[in-house]
Structures are given as structure tokens and as C-alpha cells.
């Protein structure tokens, strides 16, 4: 049975449409003095002929005192793109990283401004991957540069002498740790998926793109092999995904890829899967490291939050923009055929 409207039989009497200044004042005045513990009863108590849901939306999206209005800064825009590439359309989650901005505002901004920009650059605004249907390819040189950057990072990560007793590489060497290394691996995987020529049809008219893809894949694979060797990277499962054997899920008897299937189709990919796995395991997720040590992470406010944070904030993480890989994506990295 369908749920009745939130305002029930009073619906036809309830005002809809734009709010007047007088209504705004009433709502602000009431919430300032009494707060909002029950949105359903609030309109009546505040003297408003509005549905409680409408009041809530008006307050959270417009009247709240901590709302930052005005144009989004470049920094905010970059952050939104980064967040969206990881969280997909989870606007409320994205909004938590932008103080003063509402999910609705971010959603509108993305759908009107950012989406257009990405499309113009040949990037699919939903998947954040290049749109092959528009004969547009990413600058190979830049991608190989990314792979080389990954290489040097992996060299440090793969050497156990670089870690302290906490499993973290000291700042003096590099501000990173195994988790960051895994994030980089995830990047590599994304790139491989992006450019894996086997995903192109043999009838593809874009031979040049395929050749470049093949070249890039070879470069990247060589770079990764040099950096990590078989001790760090293994070929996992039939999909050819690269795995990091240091991190093993509790259920899996063999290495579980941290990096495959990060396709954002369901808004999360592998990281979301790990979270779900953690939830199904009483919010715990055990990490078994190559040196025999283990650590258990919790889902809520725990390791996965940290993971997410790292993926979102790390300047070196390619798909997330920042000052590292693809730092100039905004300006020049796309080459039109």
C-alpha cells in the first residue's frame, strides 16, 4: 500500500510553492527559540500553513544560519568532483565534506555546472572516465607520468626497511603507509580498466586509441612490476585485476583484490564492498599484512572512514585531482582526435 502524503488529509489546505519572507521569518523565529524536534507538528506550532517536510527542507536548504551562500570556489568545485568520483551521487555524504553547503545546492551545482564542464572535456560525469564515444582520449604522456609517480611511491612501500613498528613510513621518508599504497594500486587498477584494449571491440574504428591503450598498459604494468614485483602485486582472478596480498578479507582464503571492481556503478565499488563486508562482520575488518602482523579496523569512524578520507583528500591520488596526478586536468590533458 502506498504511503499517504506526509500532510495527510490536510494536504489540499497546505500551501506549496515559493516561501514568502514572512513565512521564512516565522520559521526562523520558531526554530531559533524552540528548536526542531518534530517537523510534523512544527508548522502548526510556528503558525505556518505548510507541510512539515516543506519546513524541514526550507530550513536545511536555505534558512539554516550556517549556510554558506554564493559562488562555489575552485577549491570547492575540485573537491566536489573528487568526492563525486568516489561517492557517486551520494550528495548528502558529499555535503559533509563541504561545510556550509547543502546536498541540494551541491547536487544542483554538479548537474548544471560541473556536468557540463566534464562533458566538454570528454569525461563521463557519472563514471569520471573518458568518453570513448566522443573520440576523445587522455594524454598518454600524463598517464605514464602518473605511473612513474606511482612507481617511486611503490618502491618505498615495498621496502620493509622503510616502515616503523607501526607499519607506517616515517615522514622523513614519505608521508604514506600501506593503506596509501593500496590506494595507489587502486588508481593503477582504474587506469588499467580505463585503457585495457581488450574492452574495445575488434571492430572499433579507433585503432590509434587502441594502440595507445596497449602502449599505456604495457608501460604501467612494467612500472608496477618494477616497483612492487610479485611480492606486492599479483594477478588476481579471471578479470586480471591487480591485488595487494598484504590485505586479506576475513572470509577470503586467498588474496582478495582491493582494487578491482571500482566502477562506481553502485556508488562505491571496492571500498563500499569492504564497508559492507565490515558491517556483515560486526563492523570489523581484519587486515593481514605481509609481515605476519594484523590489524582490525572498524567500520564506523574507523579504517574505512580513513580510507575514504584518504581517497578523497590525497593530493597524489589521480582521479581525485589535487596537485598530483591529473593536476592540470582542468586545462589541458585531453586530446581530441
Instruction: Give the residues lining the site for DNA (CB under 7 A).
Output: 2-3, 5-6, 15-19, 37-40, 52-54, 56-58, 60-62, 89-93, 103-105, 107-109, 111-113, 116
Select 53 or 131, whichever has its Cβ closest to DNA: 53
- Minimum CB distance to DNA smaller for 69 or for 75: 69
Question: Closer CB to DNA, residue 109 or residue 206?
Answer: 109
Q: Which is nearer to DNA, 113 or 131 (CB)?
A: 113
Going 180 to 169 to 303 to 95, the CA torsion angle's sign is: negative
Grid cell for residue 88: 557517486
88 or 256: CB nearest DNA: 88
CB of 37 to DNA, least distance (A): 6
State the alpha helices, DSSP H only, in 59-139.
Answer: 74-87, 91-95, 103-109, 115-120
Task: For the CB of residue 68, give the shortest distance to DNA in the complex, in Å.
Answer: 12
Least distance (Å) between residue 128 CB and DNA: 15
Q: Distance of CA 294 to CAs 180, 267, 289, 304, Å?
A: 17, 29, 6, 16
Instruction: Please compute Rg for the chain using Cα positions.
Output: 24
CA distance 235 to 148: 20
Q: Give me the least distance between CB of 23 and DNA, in Å please.
A: 8
Residue 79 gets the label, from left (phi > 0), alpha (psi -120 to 50) or beta, of alpha
Residues with Cβ within 8 Å of residue 198, at least 6 apart in sequence: none
CB of 196 to DNA, least distance (A): 27
Sign of the CA dihedral running 149, 151, 154, 160? negative
- In the complex, what is the shortest distance from the CB of residue 36 to DNA, in angstroms, rounded to a whole number? 7
Closer residue to DNA (CB): 62 or 289: 62
Amino acid at each position: 500500500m502506498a504511503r499517504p502524503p506526509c500532510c495527510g488529509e490536510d494536504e489540499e489546505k497546505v500551501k506549496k510553492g515559493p516561501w514568502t519572507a514572512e513565512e521564512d521569518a516565522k520559521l526562523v523565529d520558531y526554530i531559533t527559540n524552540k528548536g526542531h524536534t518534530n517537523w510534523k507538528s512544527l508548522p502548526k506550532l510556528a503558525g505556518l500553513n505548510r507541510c512539515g517536510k516543506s519546513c524541514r527542507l526550507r530550513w536545511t536548504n536555505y534558512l539554516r544560519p550556517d549556510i554558506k551562500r554564493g559562488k562555489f570556489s575552485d577549491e570547492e568545485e575540485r573537491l566536489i568532483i573528487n568526492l563525486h568520483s568516489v561517492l557517486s551521487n551520494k550528495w548528502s555524504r558529499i555535503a559533509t565534506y563541504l561545510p556550509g553547503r547543502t546536498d541540494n545546492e551541491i547536487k544542483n551545482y554538479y548537474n548544471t555546472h560541473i556536468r557540463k564542464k566534464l562533458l566538454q572535456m570528454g569525461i563521463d560525469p557519472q563514471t569520471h572516465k573518458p568518453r570513448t564515444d566522443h573520440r576523445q582520449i587522455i594524454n598518454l604522456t600524463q598517464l605514464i607520468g602518473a605511473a612513474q609517480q606511482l612507481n617511486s611511491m611503490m618502491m618505498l612501500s615495498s621496502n620493509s626497511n622503510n616502515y616503523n613498528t607501526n607499519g607506517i613510513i616515517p615522514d622523513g621518508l614519505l608521508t604514506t603507509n600501506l593503506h596509501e599504497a593500496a590506494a595507489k594500486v587502486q588508481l593503477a587498477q582504474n587506469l588499467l580498466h580505463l585503457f585495457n584494449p581488450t574492452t574495445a571491440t575488434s571492430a572499433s574504428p579507433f585503432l590509434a586509441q587502441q594502440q595507445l591503450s596497449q602502449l599505456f598498459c604495457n608501460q604501467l604494468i612494467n612500472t608496477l612490476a618494477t616497483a612492487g614485483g610479485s611480492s606486492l602485486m599479483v594477478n588476481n582472478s579471471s578479470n586480471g585485476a591487480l591485488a595487494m596480498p598484504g590485505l586479506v578479507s576475513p572470509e577470503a582464503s586467498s588474496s582478495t583484490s582491493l582494487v578491482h571492481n571500482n566502477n562506481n556503478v553502485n556508488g562505491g565499488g571496492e571500498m563500499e564492498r569492504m564497508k559492507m563486508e565490515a558491517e556483515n562482520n560486526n563492523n570489523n575488518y581484519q587486515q593481514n599484512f605481509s609481515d605476519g602482523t594484523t590489524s582490525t579496523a572498524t567500520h564506523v569512524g574507523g579504517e574505512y572512514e580513513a580510507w575514504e578520507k584518504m581517497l578523497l583528500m590525497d593530493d597524489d591520488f589521480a582521479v581525485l585531482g589535487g596537485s598530483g596526478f591529473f593536476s592540470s586536468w582542468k586545462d589541458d590533458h585531453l586530446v581530441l582526435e
